[in-house]
Amino acid sequence: MRPSSSLNLSFRSTINRMNNANDTMEKIVSLAKRRGFIYQGSDVYGGLAGTWDYGPLGVALKRNIMNLWWQHFVDSRDDMYGVDAAILMNQKVWQASGHVDTFVDPLCEDTVNHRRFRTDHILKDNGVNPDGMTMEQMDAAVVENDIKSPDGNPLSKSRTFNMMFMTHVGATNDESSVSYLRPETAQGIFTNFKNVVDSFYPDLPFGIAQQGKAFRNEIAPRDFIFRSREFEQMEIEYFVHPEAWEQAFDELLESTHEFLESLGLSPDHIHELDVPAEDRAHYSKKTIDIEYDYPIGREELMGIAYRTDFDLGNIQRVSKKSMEYQVKGSNERFVPHVIEPSFGVERALMAVLSESYREDEQNGEKRVYLTLPKHLAPIKFAVSPLLKNKPELVEKARQVYSALKKKYGAVMWDDNGNIGKRYRRQDEIGTPKCIVIDFQTLEDGTVTVRDRDTTEQQRVNIDEISL
Ligand code: GAP
C-alpha cells in the first residue's frame, strides 16, 4: 500500500515541486490560491492529493467556461440534446465499455520506500519518450537507462493499475453491489441514446452532450489541476451514419477550434496531434488530440475520437436491447457510429489562466494582471467611491453599483485602500473595468472608467457604462 502520508500533498509542496519545473506556473498557482480561485482540497487537514476546491472567483470562471461551451455546442445548434446522467451506474456499464479490463496505467514502485509512480511519467521525466511502448518495453527502458526513482532507489517491474474508484451501492458489500465513480461522462450519454431517440426521434446526425464530474484514481496527480483525481468533463457523443463519420469529425474539429478561440486562446499556442494507433484508447479508430502550450510544456487539452459503433454495439450485446437507428421513411437500420469531442474543464481553465497571465510595470511598480476575455471574467466591473468617508460619494456609488449589478450580476463593491491599490487588486483577478465615482459625478453624472489592459481612464456618462 502507498503510505497514507504521500496522499497528503499540501498546496505548498505542489508549489515547491512546480517551482523547479516552471516559474510562471508557480505564480499562477499562488495567485489562484491568494485571490480565491482555486484551493487545495481538504487543505485544513493537510490536503488530499489530486483534489482541488474552487473559491468564489474560480467557480465563476469555471461556470463561465462551461456555459460558453454549452452555448457553443448545444444551444446555438439544432442537432444537439443535453443530458445529465447519474454518476453512479450499473457495474455492467463499465464491464461492457471495457473500462474494468483496460482502463489501466503502468505502475512501478520504489523498492525501498514503496512510493508508487506511473512508469511512463518516470521515463518522460528522465528524457525517454514512452509513446507507443508496451509495459514490458517501458520496464526494459528503465533498466537500459539505469533509471531510479525520484528518491534515488531502484524501481520494481511495472504492473497494471485500474484507475476507477470502486465503491459499493446499498448495505451489502459483495460482488453484486459493486459500482464505480464514473471515469468519463461518455457512458451516461451512450446509456441514454435509446431514451433520447424514443423521446425525440431526431434525424441523424445528432449529438448528445453532457457536462459533469469524472473520477480517476491517477497514480501521480500532478501539475496543479492538470491531472486531478476528481475533475469535470464536457463531452459530446455525435451519432452518425457509418459512412458519414469523416465529415462529422472534420466539422466538430473546426467547431472545437472556434470554441478554443472564444476562450481567448491564441491559435499559436494550439496544436493538433494525430494520435498514432498504438497510443489511442481501446475504442478509437482515429483520435486528434488538441494540445496547448501550457507553462509546464505542450500537453493535451482535449481530444476528438472516432469511437465507431464500439459503445452502442457493446451495450446492445450485453443488454440484449437493440441500439439500431431506423432511418425515417426508409427500411434502413443500423447501429450509428460516433464522433466524440471530449473536453476537460480544468485543462481549459488552466489554459485560460496561462494565456491571460501578464506582468508589466506601471509608474515604476510591477503589476500582475489577467487579460481574461470579458465574457469569462469572474467580475465584470468593480465600483468604488473615490473617498469612502464622503457619504454623498458613497451613496452615489451605491446607486451605480446596484444598477450595474442588476444588469451584469458579477459586479464587485470595492472601497478598500487607495484607488491605485484597488486597481491592482482588480487587475490581478482580471476585472475588465473599474468605475470610480468622484465629486464631478455629483455635478455632471459622469464617472471614471478605467480599462484593465490599457490602464487608460475615460469620463463616461453613468447611462453609457458598458462592458
Ligand atoms: N470519453 C473520452 C475520454 O474520457 P480522455 O482522453 O481519457 O477521453 C478526455 O479524457 C479529457 O478529459 C482529456 O482531454 C482531459 O481534458 C480531461 N482529463 C482526463 N483525465 C484528466 C485528469 N486526470 N485530470 C484533469 N482532466 C483530465
The predicted pLDDT at position 51 comes to 98
**Does pLDDT of 112 surpass 80?**
yes
Confirm whether 49-92+175-354 and 379-464 share one CATH topology.
Answer: no
Q: Is the CB of 216 under 6 A from ligand 1?
A: yes
Q: Is the CB of 139 under 6 A from ligand 1?
A: no
**Does pLDDT of 169 surpass 50?**
yes
Cβ atoms of 433 and 384 within 8 Å: the answer is no
In CATH, which of 1.10.8.50, 2.60.120.10, 3.20.20.80, 3.30.930.10 is domain 49-92+175-354? 3.30.930.10
**Does pLDDT of 128 surpass 60?**
yes
Cβ atoms of 200 and 106 within 8 Å: the answer is no
The predicted pLDDT at position 124 comes to 92
Class for domain 379-464, per CATH? alpha beta
The predicted pLDDT at position 363 comes to 87
**Does pLDDT of 104 surpass 50?**
yes
**Does pLDDT of 18 surpass 80?**
no
pLDDT in tens, 322-372: 999 999 999 999 999 999 999 999 999 999 999 999 999 998 999 999 999
Mean pLDDT of 401-411: 98
3-state secondary structure of 161: strand
Cα-Cα-Cα-Cα torsion 13, 17, 19, 23, nearest 10 degrees, comes to -110
Task: Specify the fold of 104-162.
Answer: Herpes Virus-1 (3.30.40)
Q: Is the CB of 50 under 6 A from ligand 1?
A: no
CA-CA distances (angstroms) from residue 120 to 82, 107, 112, 159, 401? 36, 9, 20, 12, 53
**Does pLDDT of 108 surpass 90?**
yes
The residue whose CA has the least distance to atom 4 of ligand 1 is 184
Q: CA Rg, the chain, in Å? A: 25
Distance 409 CA to ligand 1 centre (A): 32
The predicted pLDDT at position 16 comes to 46
The predicted pLDDT at position 282 comes to 87
**Does pLDDT of 115 surpass 70?**
yes
Distance 412 CA to ligand 1 centre (A): 34
Confidence of residue 48 (pLDDT cuts 50, 70, 90): very high
Domains in the chain: boundaries: 49-92+175-354, 104-162, 379-464
Number of neighbouring beta carbons within 10 Å of residue 196: 18
Ligand 1 atom nearest residue 228's Cα: 24
**Does pLDDT of 4 surpass 50?**
no
The predicted pLDDT at position 11 comes to 47
The predicted pLDDT at position 14 comes to 47
Residue showing cell 473520477: 215
The predicted pLDDT at position 244 comes to 97
| Cα–Cα dist 281/277, whole Å | 9
Confidence of residue 7 (pLDDT cuts 50, 70, 90): very low
**Does pLDDT of 257 surpass 70?**
yes
The predicted pLDDT at position 168 comes to 96
pLDDT in tens, 201-214: 999 999 999 999 99
**Does pLDDT of 12 surpass 50?**
no
The predicted pLDDT at position 269 comes to 98
> Average model confidence (pLDDT) for the chain?
94
C-alpha cell at 311: 459503445
**Does pLDDT of 229 surpass 70?**
yes
The residue whose CA has the least distance to atom 8 of ligand 1 is 342
The residue whose CA has the least distance to atom 13 of ligand 1 is 302
Kindly state the percentage of the chain with pLDDT values over 90.
92
The predicted pLDDT at position 60 comes to 98
Cβ atoms of 201 and 142 within 8 Å: the answer is no
Give one DSSP letter per residue of 114-153, joined into a string. Answer: --EEEHHHHHHHTT---TT--HHHHHHHHHHTT---TTS-
| Cα–Cα dist 4/92, whole Å | 31
Cα angle value 316/317/320 (rounded, 5°): 65
